[in-house]
């Protein structure tokens, strides 16, 4: 009886791992099939050629494009640079910076450099979450070109001197970009994408950006 009972327990115990083994195989096959079904759907979908840049790119709202950066709120704490897995954010300052609670603007030392090397950036957004002042964001354009690797380094401090928070593709800087690009450009220049209460006064914003990178006259 004991012996028979013992055999029963051993057989029951051995069925568990075997069952788990086959369950894992089924799960693996099932998930591959689900993935392949989605891939196959796109394989046989009609191909559409988008006449970019004449036609706006069809990007999702959560698309992670070139950053936009609110330099006037940056306290140069390096948290974004430390979080970056490929070390492509370069920050230099003349002294500590602190956000004024009343204005939301950082004051103190100057931002002498805030640059991102887009030859290395993988648009993972890991730099965005740790920012204590929420001044670095993923933007809404994917387009940049250059002849050298150095052309891929965007100096946001230089952009700030021109009142810009995000780099613009060369074709967008022409006199007559397509209508959608003109609208996007205007949104950038009006800081429509900034997520705070400082946006209502564009001139003030430009002044604050200029103050962050150069001493007051």
**Residues of this chain that bind ligand SF4 (CB under 6 A):** 74-80, 83-84, 86, 88-89, 91, 116, 121-127, 130-133, 135-136
Cα distances from 50 to residues 54, 55, 57, 85, 156, in angstroms, run 9, 7, 7, 33, 30
Residue 135 vs 160, nearer CB to ligand SF4: 135
- State the DSSP string of 56-74: -----TT--EEEEE-GGG-
Measuring CA to CA, which residue among 183, 189, 141 is closest to residue 165? Answer: 189
Residue 19 vs 195, nearer CB to ligand SF4: 195
Min. distance of Cβ 62 from ligand SF4 in angstroms? 14
Residue 83 vs 214, nearer CB to ligand SF4: 83
Min. distance of Cβ 88 from ligand SF4 in angstroms? 5
Min. distance of Cβ 92 from ligand SF4 in angstroms? 11
Q: What does the alpha-carbon distance between residue 190 and residue 194 come to, in Å, rounded to a whole number?
A: 9
Min. distance of Cβ 75 from ligand SF4 in angstroms? 5
Residue 181 vs 205, nearer CB to ligand SF4: 205
Task: Starting at the earlier edge strand, list the strands of the sheet with 89-93.
Answer: 89-93, 111-117, 153-155
């Amino acid at each position: 009886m004991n012996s028979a009972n013992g055999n029963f327990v051993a057989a029951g115990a051995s069925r568990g791992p075997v069952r788990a083994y086959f369950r894992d195989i089924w799960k693996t096959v099932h998930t591959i099939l689900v993935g392949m079904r989605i891939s196959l759907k796109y394989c046989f979908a009609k191909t559409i050629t988008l006449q970019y840049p004449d036609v706006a790119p069809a990007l999702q709202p959560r698309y992670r494009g070139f950053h936009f950066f609110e330099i006037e709120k940056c306290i140069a704490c390096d948290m974004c640079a430390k979080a970056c897995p490929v070390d492509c954010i370069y920050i230099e300052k003349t002294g500590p910076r602190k956000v004024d609670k009343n204005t939301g603007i950082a004051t103190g030392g100057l931002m002498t450099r805030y640059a991102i090397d887009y030859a290395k950036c993988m648009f993972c957004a890991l730099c965005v979450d740790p920012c204590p002042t929420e001044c670095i964001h993923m933007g809404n354009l994917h387009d940049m070109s250059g002849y050298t690797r150095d052309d891929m380094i965007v100096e946001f401090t230089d952009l700030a001197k021109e009142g810009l928070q995000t780099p613009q593709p060369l074709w967008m800087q022409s006199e007559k970009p397509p209508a959608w690009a003109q609208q996007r450009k205007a949104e950038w220049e009006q800081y429509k994408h900034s997520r705070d209460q400082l946006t209502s006064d564009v001139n003030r914003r430009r002044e604050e950006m200029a103050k962050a990178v150069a001493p007051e006259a």
